[in-house]
Homo-oligomer: A and B are copies of this chain.
Amino acid sequence: MPTVTEQRADLPRPGRKRSEESRLAILTAAFQLLAEVGYAALTIEGIATRSGTGKQTIYRWWPAKADVLMDALATKADLYVPVPDTGSHPADLREFLRASMVLGRRPEVAAGLRALMAEAQIDPAFGERFRASFLRPRRDALGALLDRARLRGELPPGLSVGTAVDLVFGVVWYRLLATGQELDDLLVEELVGVLTYGGN
């Protein structure tokens, strides 16, 4: 998965190359510090100190601390969720949901996601980047899965694919952000039930 900060590699510019070592040290430090001190106490200064780099190096490559975190989350906790296509809608959906929830159950990942969503509210510019490079791909994946189900008539009538996607991500984010309830298998089954025609 390409990171936000990747560079055009084709045109060889003069000057020293970007240090991959520093990049990784920064992402690791950000990820660790989030877990240790929380997002409120996560500072660029702290990341620089912990990673043994200069602040300028961070500012050079990431527009805000939330972007560092987004990058770290993508690099450290591989956020890839496969989009199954077995032909059976309930099975595909179940698989997708299960994989998503496994991710969301990891505490550091949950903390990261919550911080990103919070920052997206506070910094509109980051919000845009967050939506475009983080939320949208995952929305689209589930949307494609449900589109196939709709074609086979396995989605409840009166429920648009868009709203169905919103329902799924809605509950998941709501539990992450508001209630803190476990993202368990029971939830998976309930969602599969609600989103399958004749499934209840």
A residues sitting closer than 8 Å to B (CB atoms) are 38-40, 114-115, 117-124, 131, 135, 156-160, 163, 166-167, 169-175, 177-179, 181, 187, 189-190, 193-194, 197, 199-200
Total copies of the chain:
4
Give the Cβ gap from A170 to chain B, nearest Cβ, in Å: 3
Tell me if B38 and A131 are in contact (CB < 8 A).
Answer: no
Determine if B174 and A169 form an interchain contact, defined as CB atoms under 8 angstroms apart: yes
User: What's the Cα separation between A169 and B169 when bound, in Å?
Assistant: 11
A157 and B194 within 8 A (CB): no
* A contacts with B: majority SS: helix
Q: A118-B121, A156-B200 are in contact. List 14 more A-B contacts (CB 8 A).
A: A40-B123, A115-B122, A117-B177, A118-B118, A120-B178, A121-B177, A131-B179, A156-B194, A159-B194, A163-B187, A166-B179, A170-B170, A173-B174, A197-B200
- Nearest-CB distance from A36 to chain B (Å)? 14
Known contacts A131-B178, A159-B193, A194-B156; is-contact A167 B167 (Cβ 8 Å):
yes
A153 to chain B, nearest CB (A): 13
